[in-house]
Amino acid sequence: MFSIRHPVRTWFGAGTVEKIRDEAEFAGAKRALLFTDKGVRGAGIADKAIDPLKRAGVDVTIYDECVPEPAIGDLESAWEQFRGGNFDFIVGIGGGSSMDLAKSMSILFTNTGEPRDYLGAELVPKPSLPCALIPTTSGTGAEATPNAIFSIPEKGVKMAIVSTRIIPGAAIVDPELTLTAPLKVTAAAGVDAFTHCLETYVARNATPLSEHYSVRGMELIAGSLRRVCEDGSDIEARTQMALGSYYGGVALAGAGAGAVHALAYPLGSRFHIPHGVSNSLMFSHVMKMNFSANPEKFAHIARILGEDTGGLSGEEAAERSVGAVERLCKDCGVPTQLSEVEVPAHVIPELAEAAFTTQQRLLGFNPRELSQEDIEKIYRAAA
């Protein structure tokens, strides 16, 4: 028995950002609240959604104060500002940071609790306001996932609102919107997308439905991530990345992430490292610990990444996936060792404790059971 979840409608392709107008009409929207950030707005991208809404006669209130890697306090202050507002449509246009703020706001307007009440799994009682999410990075897949992720500074970890009710009614994936994403953002987000596809593929709760998205997502990203890092104007490669990233999001809505994400969160929260970079720091080191738990799947991953596994034993073929992932991250210029981002070795026991005590949900999906000692070993290998 298994299930998967999707946005009610997904638009994909060049120019689909205009479909925000159809979605507003479908929702009967009169007063929209739109979330974005200054980088996305400054690049002229937010206007691509704002203009069609205005032409449709929708009143648009713009919040462009979203910040990268938001803390729960950022959601709380946006909620304080708008809680009395009479909005009927929520839009998020930006990377995962803006989309996570938007989708979280969409449930706050219809439920009676405060933001922190919904951190955890399936704690949201009522459906959200109609919501449309428009990614401008190919990375998080947040336009399709049931998750919104926030740093909890006092605990030094990241936690998520995980709820079927925050999957948006509409995901609008327009690859042209990613053309202006800077190289560093493109590379780190791309590694995040690949992590989603890979971790869901080997997850203990993977299903035939989620695997379909995981595998196709890995194929698309393996064939395009190096290309977008070499030439950000390569629209064909940008298009493959956007689809692969969306597939990673759907895969997350059908299976769990795993230890890469679990170990990346304490790093991201304590050292303000972008999410894709903190995944890259953990990625190959976690895989080294994991590959023997499912040699068949890890060998398949190696082949997707272009490794020739002919004549190798199952274990040998599986191990090839570790180096292949490390090379992918390195070729895109994303760090793979903690020393590259100046995380000191003496914090490792604290990181291991934080990952082990606060990330059991994700650790439960990992193909291999990991003790706190195993986790500490992985951080040390990454030092």
Ligand X SMILES: NC(=O)c1ccc[n+]([C@@H]2O[C@H](COP(=O)([O-])OP(=O)(O)OC[C@H]3O[C@@H](n4cnc5c(N)ncnc54)[C@H](O)[C@@H]3O)[C@@H](O)[C@H]2O)c1
* Residues lying near Fe ion in the complex (CB under 5 A): 192
Which C-beta is closer to Fe ion: that of 52 or that of 95? 95
Least distance CB 196 / Fe ion (angstroms):
6
Shortest Å distance, C-beta 52 to ligand X = 18
Give CB contacts under 8 A, 24+ apart, made by 57-63: 57/30, 58/24, 58/29, 58/30, 58/31, 58/32, 58/89, 59/30, 59/31, 59/32, 60/32, 60/34, 61/31, 61/32, 61/33, 61/34, 61/85, 61/87, 62/34, 62/36, 63/33, 63/34, 63/35, 63/36
Out of Fe ion, ligand X, none, what residue 181 binds, judged by CB under 5 to 8 A for its kind, is: ligand X
69 binds, among Fe ion, ligand X, none (CB under 5 to 8 A by kind): ligand X
Q: Whole-angstrom Cα distance, residue 151 to residue 115? A: 13
Q: Is 275 in the site for ligand X (CB under 6 A)?
A: yes
Minimum Å gap between C-beta 36 and ligand X is 8
Give me the 128-157 binding string for ligand X, x by CB under 6 A, dash otherwise. Answer: --------xx-xxxx--x-xxx--------
Nearer to ligand X, 180 or 337 (CB): 180
Kindly state the DSSP code that residue 126 receives in the 8-state scheme. S
Q: How far is the CB of 135 from ligand X (least distance, A)?
A: 7
Which amino acid, one-letter code, is at 15? G
Is residue 210 within 8 A of residue 248, CB to CB? The reply is no
192 or 211: whose CB is closer to ligand X? Answer: 192
Measured from the CB atom, the residue of 52 and 335 that comes closer to Fe ion is 335
Query: Residue from 181, 222, 229, 251 that binds ligand X (CB under 6 A)?
Result: 181
| Closest approach of Fe ion to the CB of residue 44, in Å | 27
From the list ligand X, Fe ion, none, partner contacted by residue 68 (C-beta under 5 to 8 A by kind): ligand X
Least distance in angstroms from the C-beta of 238 to ligand X: 10
Q: Which long-range contacts (CB under 8 A, 24 or more apart) does 104-107 make?
A: 104/75, 104/148, 104/150, 104/161, 104/166, 105/33, 105/35, 105/75, 105/78, 105/79, 106/130, 106/131, 106/166, 106/168, 107/161, 107/163, 107/165, 107/166
Task: Tell the burial category of 359 from Cβ atoms under 10 Å away from its Cβ (0-12, 13-18, 19+).
Answer: buried
Q: Which of ligand X, Fe ion, none does 176 bind, CB closer than 5 to 8 A by kind?
A: none
Nearest to 247 by CA among 291, 281, 198: 198
Interface characters, 21-60, with ligand X (x: CB under 6 A): ----------------x-xx--x-x---------------
Selected from 96, 130, 156, 244, the binder of ligand X by CB under 6 A is: 96
What binding mask, one character per residue, do residues 192-221 give for ligand X by CB under 6 A, x or -? x-----------------------------
Which amino acid is present at 367? P
Rounded Cα–Cα distance for residues 291 and 320 (Å): 9
Q: Does 180 bind ligand X (CB under 6 A)?
A: yes
Q: Is 74 in the site for ligand X (CB under 6 A)?
A: no
Determine whether 295 is exposed, middle or buried from the number of CB atoms within 10 Å of its CB (0-12, 13-18, 19+). middle
Q: How far is CA 296 from CA 39, 198, 363, 368, 369, in A?
A: 42, 13, 21, 14, 18
Q: Which residues on adjacent β-strands are paired with residue 147? A: 162
Stretch that binds ligand X, among 17-25, 175-183, 226-234, 344-352 (CB under 6 A): 175-183
Residue 142, contacted partner among ligand X, Fe ion, none, CB below 5-8 A by kind:
ligand X
- Measured in residues, the chain has a length of 383
Place of tokens 């709380």: 76
Select the residue interacting with ligand X from 52, 92, 95, 156 (CB under 6 A).
95
Shortest reach from residue 195's CB to ligand X, in Å: 9
Least distance to Fe ion, CB of residue 275, Å: 6
Given 178, 239, 284, 290, the residue binding ligand X (CB under 6 A): 178
Helices 372-382, 348-358: inter-axial angle, 10-degree rounding: 130
Q: Which residues bind ligand X (CB under 6 A)?
A: 37, 39-40, 43, 45, 68-70, 94-98, 100, 136-137, 139-142, 145, 147-149, 177-178, 180-181, 185, 189, 192, 275-276
